[in-house]
Structure 1
Amino acid sequence: MADHPDDDLVPTRAEGYKLGEKKTVDEYAKLDAEDEALNRWKASLGIGADASIGDPNDKRPVVILELALEVEGRPDVVIELEQPGALEALTGKPFTIKEKAQYSMRVKFRVQHEVISGLRYLQRVKRKGVTVDKSEEMMGSFAPNTLSTPVYEKKFAKEEAPSGMLFRGHYEVLSRFMDDDHRNYLQFEWSFDIKKSWE
């Protein structure tokens, strides 16, 4: 999906923070090669085992595999993003969230070909065209997945749906996965309705 021209949904940076020099997995593997403790740490991340980790036919550094909405006492709503048409199916099919419901999001993803620094999930929520919420969830920095860690999983903080007549209604959401370099790995739009009940 194309970026929105008036969009300010980008990762925040602490004042004075400077990004380090971008390195390949092979460069990280060779960095301070004589330091045994550092080599053990790099090996625990999968750095050095195979500098070309990943599918050679898939150039995406970050592959978002699955998104899920977890609500206690209800079945998880799971979106398998590698299924053809999964994102398109979200358009026009809002999720229902009962007011005061406690919920959290979970994401499963794979990293390949390079080290990813500062991966984040960004979200903007609008109601009737007006931004009512903007959030940023730091996921972390990741080395390419290995056989011992085939998939990363991140569960976001629990939230509570607002309640009351003023908050019930339809909401439009823009979601993005970006890194410290502001590279956009996945962007999609979806919607939800806050109601008195789950129906």
Structure 2
Amino acid sequence: MSRQFPTASIDRGPTRRRRAHLSLNVVTFHDFYYAHMSAEDQDDFKPSSTPGYKLGEAKSADEYAKMDAEDESLARWKASLGIVPGVTGGDTSGPRVTVLTLELMSPTLPAGKAISFDLSNPARIADLKKTPITIKEGVEYNVRIQFKVNHSIISGVRYMQVVKRAGVRVDKMEQMLGSYGPHPEGKPYTKDFDPEESPSGMLARSGTYSVRSRVVDDDGEVYAGTSQITVRLLSLLTTCSRVVDWDWQFKLAKEW
């Protein structure tokens, strides 16, 4: 889908050259996505906030590393976030965070069975909407997320998850990832969230649950799966990737 902009006419002056009509059919995906998100969806993903809290000025990882360099305790804390002098995070033009995988962990999972979503694969993300996973009822499980910080410092990053059944919200989860800088060796980070217990009972087992997941920071920037979108620029069609929320489904059953 795209947003149609008005046609602009360029008059080339008294020489009465023919006018050139420039028709722009361009979509800015971030604006389009949020402009067309329903008010209900926006409310679902409204993050919790601390009254009076104000965001500080954004700085690069190297700038943070050089701040208060004489403070040893602060230096140790920054090092724990991967903030060390000379680490620039490479190319700063792309997203600060890439979410790689989301995995459901449970001590009750059969040996050798894993439930993992590859969020770097657009085709796999599309499949998540079509093929519900099965979660055993009444068991403890937790979400594990793997992500990579590409550049800069991320602050107040959280994982949010809204679960709906027949269009009605039945659960919402919001858990903090924390604050990180780019890993000195370029490695991804892994975060295990607090355990949850899956619903149980005959009523819980009936129907399919729809889930929308989001990773967002204090600036409101969303990091999640990669979606393929088509953009029309002038008369050209091009396909590109955009980081967006991702949707998946699950059913509850007596066994995994």
* TM-score of the alignment, normalized to the shorter chain, above 0.5: yes
AA matched with 2:99: I
**Among 85, 99, 105, which residue is 1:64 paired with?**
99
- Identity among equivalent positions (%) equals 45
Counterpart check, 1:92 vs 2:130 = yes
- CA 1:29/1:197 → structure 2, altered by over 3 Å: closer, same or farther? closer
The size of the alignment, in residue pairs, is 196
1:185 — aligned with what? Answer: 223
AA matched with 1:59: G
Aligned pairs for 1:29-40 (under 5 A) are 29-40=65-76
TM superposition shift of 1:38: 3.0
Counterparts of 1:155 and 1:48 in 2: how far apart (Å)? 25
TM superposition shift of 1:57: 8.4
Query: Which segment is superposed worse, 172-181 or 7-16?
Result: 7-16
- CA 1:40/1:57 → structure 2, altered by over 3 Å: closer, same or farther? closer
**Among 28, 35, 38, which residue is 1:5 paired with?**
38
AA matched with 1:182: G
Counterparts of 2:82 and 2:141 in 1: how far apart (Å)? 33
- What do residues 118-160 of structure 1 show as CA deviations (whole Å, max 9, x unaligned)? 110001111101111111011101111111x712100111111
Counterpart check, 1:153 vs 2:186 = no
- What do residues 43-65 of structure 1 show as CA deviations (whole Å, max 9, x unaligned)? 443323334224x3871210111
> Structure 1 stretches of 5 or more lacking a match?
none
Calculate the aligned-residue CA RMSD, in Å.
Answer: 2.1
SS of match in other structure, 1:87: helix
* Preserved CA contact (<8 Å) 1:25 1:115: yes
| Structure number with bigger Rg | 2
Counterpart check, 1:45 vs 2:78 = no
Aligned pairs for 1:132-171 (under 5 A) are 132-147=170-185, 150-168=187-205, 169-171=207-209
* Preserved CA contact (<8 Å) 2:66 2:85: no
Counterparts of 1:183 and 1:95 in 2: how far apart (Å)? 28
Aligned pairs for 1:92-111 (under 5 A) are 92-111=130-149
Counterparts of 1:156 and 1:37 in 2: how far apart (Å)? 27
Counterpart check, 1:79 vs 2:117 = yes
SS of match in other structure, 1:191: strand
- What do residues 163-193 of structure 1 show as CA deviations (whole Å, max 9, x unaligned)? 1122222111110000111111111011111
* Preserved CA contact (<8 Å) 1:11 1:182: no
Counterparts of 1:121 and 1:35 in 2: how far apart (Å)? 32
TM superposition shift of 1:117: 0.2
